[in-house]
Structure 1
Amino acid sequence: MRLAADTITHVAILTTSNTKISVVVIISSYADGSAARGVFADETVTVGLTDGRKTRLRNVLIGCSDSYQGSNFDNVDGLLGLANTKHSFAAYAVEKFGRKFSYCLVDHLSNINATSYITFGGGASRNRVKLSGNARRTTLELQALTPFYAVKIRGISVDGKTLEIPMKVWDVTQGGGTILDSGTSLTYLTNPAYQTVMEALTMSVSKYPRVKLDAVPMDYCFNSTGFDATWVPKLILHFEDGARFEPHWNSYVIPVGGGVRCLGFLPARFPGVCVIGNIMQQKYFWEYDLTAKELSFAPSACS
Structure 2
Amino acid sequence: MNLFSLSSCPTPSTPCSYDYRYVDGSTAQGVFGKETFTVRLTNGRVARLPGVLVGCTNSFSGDSFRGADGVLGLALSDYSFTSKATNVFGGKFSYCLVDHLSNKNVSNYLIFGSSSFSSATKLNATRTTPLDLNVIPPFYAVNIIGLSLGETMLDIPMQVWDATQGGGTILDSGTSLTFLADAAYKAVVSGLQRHLVGLKRVRPEGLPIEYCFDTTSGFNQSKLPQLTFHFKGGARFEPHRRSYLIDAASGVKCLGFVSAGEPGTNVIGNIMQQNYLWEFDIVASALTFAPSTCL
Calculate the TM-score normalised by the size of structure 2: 0.92
* 2:207 alignment partner AA: V
- Of 127, 131, 137 in structure 1, the residue corresponding to residue 121 of structure 2 is 131
Q: SS at 1:140's partner residue? A: strand
Judge conservation of contact 1:169–1:176 (CA < 8 Å) in 2: yes
- Of 149, 163, 182 in structure 2, the residue corresponding to residue 172 of structure 1 is 163
Compute the displacement of 1:52 (Å). 2.6
Which digits, 9 at most, give the CA deviation of each residue in 1:254-301, with x for residues without a partner? 012211110000111222200000000010000000111000000000
Judge conservation of contact 1:129–1:302 (CA < 8 Å) in 2: no
RMSD: 1.4
The match for 2:105 is: 113
Compute the displacement of 1:169 (Å). 0.5
Q: Where do residues 17-166 of structure 1 align in structure 2 (5 Å cutoff)?
A: 23-122=15-114, 125-128=115-118, 130-132=120-122, 134-166=125-157
Q: SS at 1:199's partner residue? A: helix
1:217 aligns with 2:190: no
The match for 1:5 is: none
Question: Which segment drifts farther, 74-83 or 281-290?
Answer: 74-83
Which digits, 9 at most, give the CA deviation of each residue in 1:160-196, with x for residues without a partner? 1111111110001111100000000000011111111
Residue 248 to residue 194, structure 1, CA distance change in 2 (3 Å): same
Judge conservation of contact 2:182–2:263 (CA < 8 Å) in 1: no
The match for 2:291 is: 299
Which digits, 9 at most, give the CA deviation of each residue in 1:74-127, with x for residues without a partner? 2222111110111110011111111000000000001112110000012xx224
Compute the displacement of 1:206 (Å). 2.3
Compute the displacement of 1:40 (Å). 1.2
Q: SS at 1:58's partner residue? A: strand
Q: Within 2, Cα distance between the matches of 1:147 and 1:23?
A: 25
Judge conservation of contact 1:22–1:40 (CA < 8 Å) in 2: no
Compute the displacement of 1:22 (Å). 7.8
The match for 1:6 is: none
The match for 1:255 is: 247
Residue 38 to residue 252, structure 1, CA distance change in 2 (3 Å): same
Q: Within 1, Cα distance between the matches of 2:155 and 2:22?
A: 30
Q: Within 2, Cα distance between the matches of 1:165 and 1:35?
A: 34
Q: Within 1, Cα distance between the matches of 2:178 and 2:72?
A: 20
Residue 232 to residue 22, structure 1, CA distance change in 2 (3 Å): farther
- Of 246, 252, 264 in structure 1, the residue corresponding to residue 238 of structure 2 is 246
Which digits, 9 at most, give the CA deviation of each residue in 1:231-271, with x for residues without a partner? 11100000111110000000000012211110000111222
Question: Which segment drifts farther, 61-70 or 233-242?
Answer: 61-70
The match for 1:4 is: none
The match for 1:236 is: 228
* 2:175 alignment partner AA: T
Residue 106 to residue 147, structure 1, CA distance change in 2 (3 Å): same
Which digits, 9 at most, give the CA deviation of each residue in 1:113-169, with x for residues without a partner? 2110000012xx224462135100000000010000000100100121111111110
Q: Within 2, Cα distance between the matches of 1:257 and 1:249?
A: 17
Number of aligned pairs? 281
Which digits, 9 at most, give the CA deviation of each residue in 1:25-84, with x for residues without a partner? 112222222221111100011112233322211000011111122222222221111101
Judge conservation of contact 2:26–2:63 (CA < 8 Å) in 1: yes
Calculate the TM-score normalised by the size of structure 1: 0.90
Q: SS at 2:222's partner residue? A: helix
Q: Which runs of 5+ in 1 are unaligned?
A: 1-20
Percent identity over paired residues: 51
Q: Where do residues 184-223 of structure 1 align in structure 2 (5 Å cutoff)?
A: 184-223=175-214
Q: Within 1, Cα distance between the matches of 2:264 and 2:155?
A: 18
Judge conservation of contact 1:22–1:41 (CA < 8 Å) in 2: no
Judge conservation of contact 1:148–1:179 (CA < 8 Å) in 2: yes
